Each structure stands twice: as C-alpha cells, then as structure tokens.
Amino acid sequence: MQVDMTQSPRSEKKTMTQPPTMTKAAILLFATVADTTWRAFVPTIGGTILGIMLDNTFHTAPLLTTIMIIVGFALSALLIVLQIRSVRRQR
C-alpha cells in the first residue's frame, strides 16, 4: 500500500471562511430593503408629525400638515431615487 505524501490530508478539508453566495445575496437584499424602508417612512411620518405640531402652534390646521405630508413624500421619493442610482452604480 502506497501513501501519497505530496498532499496533506488537512488540505482536503473545506473551511467555511466566507458565507456562500446565496447567503451574501440574501444579506444584501435584506440590507437594501431595510435601507429603503426608513427612506420611505421616516420623512413622511416626520413631516406629518411636524405639520401637526406647526398647525397646533400657528392655528392653521390642516394647511401645514398637508404641506408637510407632501414635502415628506417628495423627500422620500428623492431618497429612494438616489438609493436606486447608488445601487445601479455599484453593479
């Protein structure tokens, strides 16, 4: 019986130093969804809350609330467009 001494028996063991490609893709997808979620909701909800506070302060209900909802929605759309451009640039 001959033994091949050119290769170490340890070299055949597979080590998991990096996650598989599917795991990387899932993590990237989850991170992108989480990033998009805050971009969509924070400006709109923040604008709504700010509008209500301003309406209560200046007694202009519902004018400033409506304006701030529209501004929050526009800011959300802008942030999402910028994120999409960034993701496309990274490809």
Question: Running DSSP on this structure, what letter comes out for residue 58?
Answer: H
Domain limits for position 66: 38-91
Distance between CA 91 and CA 82 in Å, rounded?
15
Question: Is residue 4 in a domain?
Answer: no
Question: Is residue 42 in a domain?
Answer: yes
pLDDT by residue, tens only, the chain of 91 residues: 566 666 665 655 555 566 577 888 888 888 888 888 899 999 999 999 999 999 999 999 899 999 999 999 999 999 999 988 988 888 7
Distance between CA 68 and CA 26 in Å, rounded?
35
Give the C-alpha distances (Å, rounded to integers) separating 87 from 25, 27, 60. 13, 15, 41
Domain count, the chain: 1
Question: Is residue 86 in a domain?
Answer: yes
Question: Is residue 62 in a domain?
Answer: yes
